[in-house]
Amino acid sequence: MNNDMQLKSLIEMSATDVRKCMKCGKCSGRCPAFKEMDIKPHQFVTLLGQGKVEKLLASKAIWNCLSCLACVERCPRGVAPANVIEAVRTTVARMQGGDGITAEEIPAEVNEMIPQQLLVSAFRKYKK
């Protein structure tokens, strides 16, 4: 897929209008995983607006975003940074070899404590 097609796809999958962003940074200020994000939530929005596809797809932050939607709730302009992150994560996970987790990574200690919900959620988020 060429750069323009990839960009169009990311914009459609994000389903949020990044042009509304006024760069206030509230989303990143509220992000519980802020320190673990190489690209911060507000930067995801900016980079998509600028069409920086390569940079977005190389992000490691997609594996640390917790999908808590705090960024979405705080945005005074109705932009959904979490949707952009999800669009990038889904795109990367759909690529060959792009999975963020493999079955081998399930800890050997899968014990009575680990809820099914955790395994299902993690694999739905990290692997396609």
Site for another protein, rule CB under 8 A: 12-15, 32-33, 36, 63-64, 66-70, 72-73, 80, 82-83, 86-87, 90, 100-101, 105-107, 112-126
Residue closer to another protein, measured from CB, 46 or 90 = 90
Residue whose C-alpha is closest to residue 31's, from 102, 105, 76, 82: 82
Residue closer to another protein, measured from CB, 96 or 103 = 103
The residue count of the chain comes to 128
Residue closer to another protein, measured from CB, 58 or 120 = 120
Q: How far is the CB of 50 from another protein (least distance, A)?
A: 21
Q: How far is the CB of 54 from another protein (least distance, A)?
A: 20
Dist. CA 70–CA 72, nearest whole Å:
5
Contact 48, 11 (CB under 8 A): yes
Q: How far is residue 100 CA from its own chain's centroid? A: 12
Residue closer to another protein, measured from CB, 47 or 93 = 93
Q: How far is the CB of 108 from another protein (least distance, A)?
A: 13
Residue whose C-alpha is closest to residue 85's, from 66, 110, 104: 66
